[in-house]
Structure 1
Amino acid sequence: MLEVEMVVDSVRLNLVNPSRTIWLRQKDRRRYLPITIGGHEADAIAIKLVNLKDDAPMRPLTHDLLLQTIEALGWQVEKVLVRDLSDQVFYADVVLHREEEEKVIDARPSDAIALAVRAAVPIYCAQSVLDRAGLEPEDDPAETPEEPVSEESLKPFAEFIGQLDLDDLGDD
C-alpha cells in the first residue's frame, strides 16, 4: 500500500452541527483530507498543537495516559496511518515498535492523530484514501498571473488621474 505523509493543517468547528473537522494536508503538496471528528478528540488534538502550557489540563488526558502506558510497556509509537475509507467512515492504524517487533492497532483516526501529535510521529494516509477523499484547491484566479497590462490599456486611467485637482482634497 502506497503511503503519503500528511501533517495536521487545522482543527475546525463545523457551523452547521456540533462536530469538528480535522484537516490533514499532504506534506509536500496542497492536497487536504478533511475528517469529521468529535469535540473531545478535536480539543485533545488542538491542545497539543498549540502547546497551551498555561491553560493545559492539570492531569493527563486520555491520549496522554495511552502514550505513557505504551511507553511504560517498552513500546514506541512509530507512525499513524489513515488506511481505509468505507461508507464514509475512515479507518486508521497506530503502528507500535519494540526492538524487532511491530504491532498494528486498529483505531479511530481522531484517536490515532491525537496520539501521533503527542508522540511527535509521522501521520500517513493511504494513497487510495487520498485519491477518493482528498481535496485539492483550485488556483485562485486572483493569484493566477495574467498577461502584463499594456501602457495603452492604462491610458484612460492615467488621463483621469492627470485631470484630478489635488488642491481640492483639503486639509482634514
Structure 2
Amino acid sequence: MADLIEATIDSIRMSLTSQQRIIILKDLNKERYLPIWIGPYESESISIALQEIEISRPQTHDLIKNAIYELGGSIHRIIINELKDDIFYGVIEITQKGKKILLDTRPSDALALAVRTHVPIFISEQIMESASIVPVEEEYFSSLTENKEIPFVESPSSPEQDKENIDRLSVFEEYLQNLETDHEKDEENDENDDEEDDEYPDGNISAI
C-alpha cells in the first residue's frame, strides 16, 4: 500500500443556510489540512461520537461496529486511499481470526466508525500532496463560516500543477462566496427580527 499519513479530525464546518458540511482532517506531522465534503447524516453521526453524546438506541454506525465485534472481528484502522474524479474513497481494515479484511467504504462512514472505536485515521500521501491545503493563518478555516477572506497557499507543487491547483481551489472560493451570501441573508433576517420586536415588544417569535 502507498505511503500513509496519520491524521486526526480537526473540525466539522457547516453553512447555516445551505446545510453543506465539510470535515477537516489534519496531518499529525505537518501543518496540512484535507477538506472533505460529507452529508448531514454522517456529519451528525461523527459529531455525536466526538462529543460522546449518549443515545437511547444504536445508530447505523453503532450497529455496524457492534456487528463487526459480535462476529469476532476488530477494526484496526481506516484509510482514505484514493481520490478519483473529485471523489474520495476509503477502506476499513478489519482483523478477524488472524485474517485481514479490507472493506470498501465512503470516507465519511469510515470516519464515523473510527471515532467510535478510537482507531487511527490514515490518508494516502499522494492524496495529501494533491488535495491538502496549508493555511497562511490559523484563522483560515474559521473563514469557512464567516464573512471573511483569508489567503492560503497549496502544499508544495511543481509549476506544471499550478493550473490543476487553481481549478481545485476554485471550489472553495465558490463555497466561501455562498457563505458570504448566507451571512448577508442572516443580517437581513436579524434586521427584520429587530423590527418585529419593536412592533410587538411582548411577543415571542421563534426562528426555524
User: Normalising by structure 2, what TM-score?
Assistant: 0.63
Paired AA for residue 67 in structure 1? K
How far the C-alpha of 1:77 sits from its partner, in A, is 0.3
How far the C-alpha of 1:137 sits from its partner, in A, is 1.0
Aligned to 1:59: 57
Structure 1: which 5+ runs fail to align? 141-172
1:24-43 superposed matches below 5 A: 24-43=25-44
Number of positions where the alignment pairs a residue of Structure 1 with one of Structure 2:
137
CA separation in 1, counterparts of 2:17 and 2:133? 20
Does 2:102 correspond to 1:111? Answer: no
CA separation in 1, counterparts of 2:31 and 2:51? 22
Larger relative contact order, structure 1 or 2 (CA cutoff 8 Å, min sep 6): 1
Does 2:69 correspond to 1:68? Answer: no
CA separation in 2, counterparts of 1:17 and 1:139? 26
Check whether the contact 1:84–1:92 (CA below 8 A) recurs between aligned residues: yes
How far the C-alpha of 1:16 sits from its partner, in A, is 6.6
How far the C-alpha of 1:12 sits from its partner, in A, is 1.1
CA separation in 1, counterparts of 2:128 and 2:35? 10
1:1-172 superposed matches below 5 A: 1-15=2-16, 17-52=18-53, 56-139=54-137
Paired AA for residue 7 in structure 1? T
**Structure 1 residue ranges, 4+ long, deviating more than 4 angstroms after superposition:** none
Structure 2: which 5+ runs fail to align? 139-208
Structure (1/2) with the larger helix percentage? 2
Give the % identical residues: 35
Check whether the contact 1:81–1:124 (CA below 8 A) recurs between aligned residues: yes
How far the C-alpha of 1:11 sits from its partner, in A, is 1.1
SS, match of residue 136 in structure 1: strand
Paired AA for residue 65 in structure 2? L
How far the C-alpha of 1:138 sits from its partner, in A, is 1.8
Aligned to 1:161: none
How far the C-alpha of 1:17 sits from its partner, in A, is 2.9
CA separation in 1, counterparts of 2:69 and 2:55? 21
Root-mean-square deviation (CA, aligned residues, Å) is 1.3
SS, match of residue 84 in structure 1: strand
Check whether the contact 1:14–1:21 (CA below 8 A) recurs between aligned residues: no
Check whether the contact 1:97–1:103 (CA below 8 A) recurs between aligned residues: yes
Give 1 or 2 for the bigger CA radius of gyration.
1
Check whether the contact 2:72–2:97 (CA below 8 A) recurs between aligned residues: no
CA separation in 2, counterparts of 1:80 and 1:13? 24
How far the C-alpha of 1:100 sits from its partner, in A, is 2.2
Check whether the contact 1:83–1:125 (CA below 8 A) recurs between aligned residues: yes
CA separation in 2, counterparts of 1:107 and 1:17? 26
Paired AA for residue 51 in structure 1? E
Which moves more between the two structures, 115-124 or 26-35? 26-35
